[in-house]
Amino acid sequence: MPFNAAQDELYQEEIKPAIESVGLTSVRIDQLVALGPLISTLWQHIQDARCVIADLSGKNPNVFYELGLAHAAGKPTVILSQSVEDVPFDLQHMRIIRYDRTLHEAGGLKRRVSQALKEIVKQGTDFVVTPAAAGVRRLRKSTKGKSKSPDELVRGAEAAYKAGRTTEAISLLEQGKTAYNAVGDNHGLANALLTLGSLYQRTGDYRGALSALQQSLEVLKALGDPRGEAAASANLGNVFEAMADSERAEEFYRRALVISESLADKAAISLHLANLGTLMVQRAAYAEAEHYYERSLALSKEQNNRPAIARMRSNLGILRLYQGRRDEAEELFRAALRDYEELATPADRSRTLHNLASIMQEKGDLSAAERYLHESLTIKRELGDRAGLAATIANLGSVAASRGELDEALRFYTEAVRIYEETGNYYGLTQAYFATSRVLQAAGQTSKAVELLKRAEEIARSSSPAQHKKIVELLQELKPA
């Protein structure tokens, strides 16, 4: 990081405590004792580090150089910046923690750095693709005995995923990724990384998803594959959206849209418009969401793309639900569900069952809501969809709360919070904190409710304005009590 009084304060109050909170030891570059040339000492410490934190604020040349060394050494990195403008374009697809010292958000940066470090420790050392003359470096690996080809490993992963063995699919794809890298097949490597990113996201491992997708984007750029670059950018947007980084999500969705529009790829354009629409729904910008969804649906109908049409019906159903147009929402969800049953797409079917349950709950038919949620839960467990699992468990908590079964509701919410915290799904975590606080309030545990709301408010402040407003209103209501 740059060394000055303000940054030193930031280090002492936020960054160093975050590092120590996860059981690691903090070493800052200016603290190094050089026994020879400084660059040799610096390189050795970077190689020895478990991970590297770099603050790019102010575009300090030394920091950029040191970050480059960390990437060359294959070290996991946590990138900080006060402004995205200080981050070079080639690094903007990576996970970046933005902060604003003028807001005096005590502990906010510490929490986010600590969470990023926890994910690194949990995930293990990242596999980093380093550009070289031939495209990417190749890993040296012993080939003693018979081993499967990269293509065989990927086919095995596809079969395992279709059979519901997601963990096995991820393991085979990890092996396939390494094998493609070893033989220098960059096209195979990029596709394996893209698929791996999607599976990690589905299991709720957002750190793993970001790592795989960032690597795929680097390889696709080196290959000059704009279609693949758009797909990787869109997937990165999905992950950032789940992590409640709305600005980064929008940035990548728009980047993917620009690329796909330049290629006149209507199917991809439709997908990116739908992603932007969903982001607008989360921001309560319903008119903008409608605009994106209608454009996406028109393109899907033009191509007679049934899966895309079904997804757009489901998306429009969610929008109608937020707009209070419940009957229209139910009609759209049921139409989408019929399509998914014919198309045999269980992941989409489980999401739509989840949405129908919300309609049934609003209508007061709690038995039907519970039935749909349990059916959705079964499918998600079979698919290993941890991210979706947490949302459905939280909704079961909501059904229990509607029945007045507060202990049962807290049990469901606690389980959902645990999954969201483990996976780093901050958008879902904010909603779960808010819902849990309402149950705690009803149970007379006001102090615990306020504590959870404060955590939710901190997360939602920069990620979900509509949710933030509701949290602040409830906090104001509870604090006097």
Top-confidence residue, 323 or 142: 323
DSSP state of 56: -
Q: Output the pTM of the full model.
A: 0.63
Mean pLDDT within 339-362: 93
Q: Are 442 and 420 in contact (CB under 8 A)?
A: no
Q: Are 369 and 399 in contact (CB under 8 A)?
A: yes
Determine the pLDDT at residue 431.
85
The CATH class that applies to domain 148-224 reads: mainly alpha
Q: Are 276 and 234 in contact (CB under 8 A)?
A: no
DSSP state of 37: -
Determine the pLDDT at residue 38.
66
Lowest mean pLDDT segment, chosen from 198-207, 326-335, 421-430:
421-430
The residue with tokens 């921001």 is 283
Determine the pLDDT at residue 93.
62
Determine the pLDDT at residue 125.
44
Q: Name the architecture of domain 305-384.
A: Alpha Horseshoe (1.25)
Q: How far is Cα 329 from Cα 317, in angstroms, rounded to an integer?
A: 4
Is residue 462's pLDDT more than 70?
no
Is residue 143's pLDDT more than 50?
no
Is residue 32's pLDDT more than 90?
no
Model confidence band, residue 145 (pLDDT cutoffs 50, 70, 90): very low
Alpha helices for 224-365 (secondary structure H): 226-242, 246-263, 266-282, 286-302, 306-322, 326-343, 346-363
Model confidence band, residue 165 (pLDDT cutoffs 50, 70, 90): confident
Determine the pLDDT at residue 282.
85
Instruction: Report the CATH fold assignment for 392-481.
Output: 1.25.40
Model confidence band, residue 133 (pLDDT cutoffs 50, 70, 90): very low
DSSP state of 145: S
Is residue 99's pLDDT more than 70?
yes
Q: Hey, where are the domains in the chain?
A: 5-126, 148-224, 248-304, 305-384, 392-481
| Residue 37 CB neighbours (<10 A) | 9
The residue with tokens 């009803």 is 442
User: What would the pLDDT profile of 232-268 be if each residue is shown by its tens digit?
Assistant: 999 999 998 887 788 889 999 999 999 999 999 999 9
Q: Which residues contact 132 (CB under 8 A, 6 or more apart)?
A: none
Domains 305-384 and 392-481 share a fold: yes
